[in-house]
Structure 1
Amino acid sequence: MADIEQDPSNFLFLETMFLDIIDNVRETDSTGMGSSFICARKTYILKNNTKLFVTEHYTKEGKIDHFYYDWVTNEKASRGILSFHSESHEEKAYRTSTEPFHIHTHEDTKLSNVSRLPNYNFHDLFSVLEYIRLFIYANQVLSQ
C-alpha cells in the first residue's frame, strides 16, 4: 500500500460537525471488528437510513496509509452506494488517473479501471461526509 501522508481523522470533531446527518455511531466497521493501534474502525448510521463504514489503516508513524469509506444502504443485506478508497493497485489495468484515490460505484462486481472512477476531491473523511450531507439535503429538496 502507498502511504498517503495524511493525518488520521478526528472522529470526535467529525461526529460533532455532522450531527445533522449522523444518527448513531458504532465502534466497528463492516467486518464487525473494533479499532486497534494500526486501524480505526467506525460505522456511522445516517439519518437518511444509510450507513457509512469507515476503516483507516495507519503507518507506524501514525499517518493514514490507506482508507476505505463505504457508503451503503441500511438494509439487512447492505447494498453499496459509493465507496471511496485509497489503496493502490500495482496492475495498470486496475488503476485510475487519480491512483491511489478512486471511487467504486454500486455496480462494481469486478475489479477493473472501468468499474473504478477517478477521485479528484474526496481524499479524507470530512470531504466524504460533506458530500453525503449535500446529497441528503439535495435529495430532500427534490423529493418535496
Structure 2
Amino acid sequence: MHPNEHCNCRYADVGCDKMEEVMDQISGKWKMRILFMVGAHGTLRYGELRKLLDGVTHKMLSNQLKELAADGLVERIDYNEVPPRVEYRLTPNGEALMPIFDDIQRYIRGHACNDRCGAAQSTPAVNNMK
C-alpha cells in the first residue's frame, strides 16, 4: 500500500509498504537483539557480541550481521590484523532505531514491572522479606 488520500490507517503518511520494509530489515529472532546490544554497549568485537547473545550460532550471527550491514544499520570495521580483529557499531540509520529500545525501557518501568512486581510484592513471602 502506498500513501494516498484513501488510506485511513495510522501510518498512512508513510504507507504500510514502507513500514513493512523496515520491519523486514529488523525482523527475526536475532536482528533486534543485535541492534540492542550494539546500541547499548557501543562498538563491539564479534566475540563480545556473540557472548552477549546467548544461544546464537556463529553462522546465524554472521549472516544476521551481514544482512544488517547490507541494510545500512550496522557497520563492520575490519582492521586487517593477525589475529583478525573485526568490530561492529551502529550506523546513523541504526542509531535512529534506538528510540525503539528507549520506548521498551519506558514500558518496562511503567507497565511490565508494575504488573508483575506489584503482584509479587503482595505475596506473604515477599512481604515478610521487607
Shorter-chain TM range is under 0.3
**Structure 2 length normalisation: TM-score?**
0.24
* Structure ID, larger Rg: 2
**Structure 1 length normalisation: TM-score?**
0.23
Q: Which structure's residues are more often helix, by fraction? A: 2
Q: Which structure's residues are more often strand, by fraction? A: 1
